[in-house]
Amino acid sequence: MVNFIRRAEPGVKQIKERLKNGYITGPFDGTIWYSRGLSNSAIHFIDLITHWLEDTFSIKIVSDNKRVWDGNDPEPKFLISNKYSSFFFSPHPNINMNFHHAEIFAKNGRLVYGDGGRSINWAPHQACSLGNKGIEAFSENESRSYFSDSVEIIPNELELVQFHVVNELAKLTLGKQTSLCIDDQAILPHQIIEKIRNSLSD
C-alpha cells in the first residue's frame, strides 16, 4: 500500500462516485496550489486527479523557479493534461507555508477542494442557455451569477483519515474492494513526478 491516505476519506470517495455516476462531468480545467515540495506534497494531489479521472496524463513544465523544499524537492509550476482536461499546479509563494488548495471547473459546475481537503464544496451551473458562445457570452455581472448561489458542502472527515485508512485496510485483509492505493495504482503519479524531475534536469 502506498501512503496516499486521502483516497480513504469519505469526501474524496464521494467525489469519485459523483464522477462515475455523471453528477460531475468533464472536461475539467483546474488549478492546484501546493507547498513544501513536488515529491513531498504535490504528488498527493496528482494522485487525487489520476484516481478521480482514471486516466493517464502528459506533463509540461511552465516555470522552473529553481526553488526547492528541504534541500532537494523542487517546486516548479507545471501542467498535467489529457485529451479533454488540464490541471495547472503552482507552488505557494511562501515556501514555508503549509498551503494546499484546488479549484476545478467542470462542464456542469465548480469543485473546490480547500485547505488540503478540510473544506470541499460543489457549485453547479445555473440552469441557463448559453447557445454556442459559452460563459464568455455573459456580461461581467451575469458571469458572477453563472454558478448557483446554492453551494453544496460535501462532508469530509480528513481529521479522521487514519481511522478510515484502518477501515479500508480491514476490507483489504478480507479480500474486499478498497479505495486504498495498492499494487500498480501508485505507478502513474510516481511516473508523472519522475517525468517532471527529468524535464527539470534537461
- Per domain, the residue ranges of the chain are 5-201
- Parts of the chain with a pLDDT under 50: 1, 127-140, 142-144
> Parallel, antiparallel, or unpaired: how do β-strands 101-106 and 86-91 relate?
unpaired
Strand order of the β-sheet with 119-124 is 58-63, 77-81, 86-91, 29-34, 101-106, 109-114, 119-124, 152-153
C-alpha cell, 45? 494531489
Q: What is the pLDDT of residue 134?
A: 45
User: What's the fold here for domain 5-201?
Assistant: Dihydrodipicolinate Reductase; domain 2 (3.30.360)
pTM of the full structure: 0.86
Q: Judge whether 26 and 107 are in contact, CB under 8 Å.
A: yes
Amino acid residing at 146:
Y
pLDDT of 74 = 95
User: In angstroms, rounded to a whole number, what is the distance separating the alpha carbons of residues 116 and 118?
Assistant: 6
The predicted structure's pLDDT at residue 96: 81
